[in-house]
A and B are shown apart, each in its own frame.
Chain A
């Protein structure tokens, strides 16, 4: 398994960082000129493993890997298609020649960030699908934040790369769509032909929920400007930027630990062990499904709905409207597949 763990956990490997290479010096990757047509119905896989942690609190990496395989196979194994193994499924996302970036979410520290073992498993499968290790970048806004979440920074060499935008900076020029004008991380623009979005599932005091669409706030230099009005329409507008939309091929939402209240910072008293992954190629459908999971948990805990709490994530509907068409939020257009 690809080793991304930081040195402060069980992994005490003392691999030294090689000297920093000229990050961002490569050619700017061109985005496809046209977007694929939106499918009539979007598929969201919810894969669960109640035994993911065995009898303890630590996650079993092998069970997690198996859960990931099950999820990705369920995503692509449609009714009339022949079943395929997990590696074949990953080849639908990326292959030799691709430069793949994995945008994790590490704001919540070790309490609620994208799981390091999950990211390692994805890196492993990508390599088995033919992507060179050094063509995979695990990233977020800041390297220190990533380290606090348990990632080990790795720059250069033949291994999977792992660092924050602080190492390479944002583009000088603005990218703009609708209400949004931002400088984009050079990791996105220069080191990603394929973007895999790896958010966590959690409540957000302003936006209602933060899952796949809002995880893109970690791609820009000025996310603080886009929190008014429950982040609506800012989140939808941001995801319309061609640099993001053309690259995002898959969302794997880490719902191993999730939060139903008190986010986005980690509040252990408001978290639960959902032991799940949500996987989709439609970030809007995935966010809609994740939102409903949070609502069910809120109801179970006796809390008001987010609508009643005046912070329903209206940006999800905006992302699906005729102006954006980033995906489906109408339940009749979402096929939720349990795996």
Chain B
């Protein structure tokens, strides 16, 4: 089995491989007195006889589903609403019907873990210069043809190596490495919602916040309940057309837009990433429509990141996004009135910095994933003109 040490959100160097990092972190976490494990609060453990012992420790009754006649279930986690027969799994591959009860197979089953700069998520307006203890399980509820992490997101949990990390252990590791946040990322956190919720609770109890990097393809109730526990949310808005979502993502655009509006109403700090793929979603009309929709529905202050595509997975035939295309997208979004439009995955580009929309002075300078200069005041205002800069800038 190919074992990928760290899921690649980008091309940054990684100081630890996954296994040695976890072993080291968990061992020292226990030494710090955080080794006492509590049962997850949001799930009911399955009888150990229903699976092998190693599987049983990751297997909990799922939330967000309803039972149907004939031992079937309807999953209510995402808009796909899989109807799953006995002994079958949903589209995500990590939730299984066993005798009419639906189980998650990935609670505490961490297949990728790393400490990342928060700028790597990317979250540019949330605790800049800090690091996030970043974790993932197998599985995803869509199948993007450009996925960088397809070897974990498009696999079933038993197909990839994983470690047991309880919610309390995750919180302890974050504390140990001075990470103010735990990030649920790399694959698709929607599909490990129960683990995310329990870990967020454990983290908050220990003074560690939670952030999620997600496609936002969720049902309203699961979104409110699960991401209600998050302190910040980054949504990958993969395109602004339903046809792209159908063909390239195997999902739908409308529920994602609804998610963005709901998050806005919930008052969650939210940033949006739009991966620009040559010939597929790089039409100027689409950029304009996207920016106009964001301004009208979310306001002009939501950060929007246009990021560069690198050929991966099933789209190896397409080229890297030309930088002028990204600059054109930014120019269009700027012209539509958005205040914080960034260009991502292009190291050294000036559009990675944050500028005051009023006085135009640079407030946060970024080099790669490092915030090399951060001038925003404690009261979240520009030091030059006192304009309010939206975001959570200081812990």
Contact = CB atoms under 8 A, between A and B. Distances in A.
Contacts of A225: 91, 93, 143, 154, 250
A169 interface: yes
A198 B95 CA distance: 28
Prevailing SS type, chain B contact patch = loop
A227 B91 contact: yes
A124 interface: no
A225 B91 CA distance: 5
Interface in A239-298: 262, 264-265, 267
Contacts of B92: 224
B314 A172 contact: no
Interface in A131-173: 166, 169-170, 172
B2 interface: yes
Interface in B80-128: 83, 85-93
A292 B154 CA distance: 35
Given A225-B93, A225-B154, A170 B313 contact: no
A72 B85 CA distance: 35
Interface string A169-180: 110101010000
B159 A265 contact: no
Given A169-B1, A221-B156, A264-B88, A181 B314 contact: yes
A98 interface: no
A8 interface: no
Contacts of A205: 72, 83, 85
B28 interface: no
A107 interface: yes
Nearest to A225: B143
A222 B87 contact: no
A139 to B, nearest CB: 16
A228 interface: yes
A166 B159 CA distance: 8
B85 A265 contact: yes
Interface in A21-78: none
Interface residues of A, number: 19
Interface in A182-224: 205, 221-222, 224
Given A181-B313, A225-B250, A166 B158 contact: yes
A208 to B, nearest CB: 14
B155 interface: yes
B70 interface: yes
Given A172-B2, A224-B93, A225-B143, A264 B159 contact: no
B179 to A, nearest CB: 32
B93 A222 contact: yes
A67 to B, nearest CB: 29
A224 B93 CA distance: 6
B279 to A, nearest CB: 18
Contact of A228 (B87, B150, B159, B250): B250
A228 B70 contact: no
Contacts of A264: 85, 88
Contacts of A172: 2
Nearest to B86: A265
A264 B150 CA distance: 28
Nearest to B145: A181
Contact of A224 (B70, B87, B89, B158): B89
A149 to B, nearest CB: 12
Interface string B124-164: 00000000000000000001010000100011101100000
Nearest to A182: B154
Nearest to A173: B2
A227 B155 CA distance: 15
Interface in A9-30: none
Nearest to A172: B2
A170 B314 contact: no
B250 A170 contact: no
21 contacts: A166-B158, A172-B2, A174-B314, A181-B313, A205-B72, A205-B85, A221-B156, A221-B159, A222-B93, A222-B156, A224-B89, A224-B90, A224-B91, A224-B93, A224-B156, A225-B93, A228-B250, A262-B70, A265-B71, A265-B85, A265-B86
| 5 closest A-B pairs by CB | A224-B93, A172-B2, A265-B86, A181-B314, A225-B143
Interface of B: 1-2, 70-72, 83, 85-93, 143, 145, 150, 154-156, 158-159, 250, 313-314
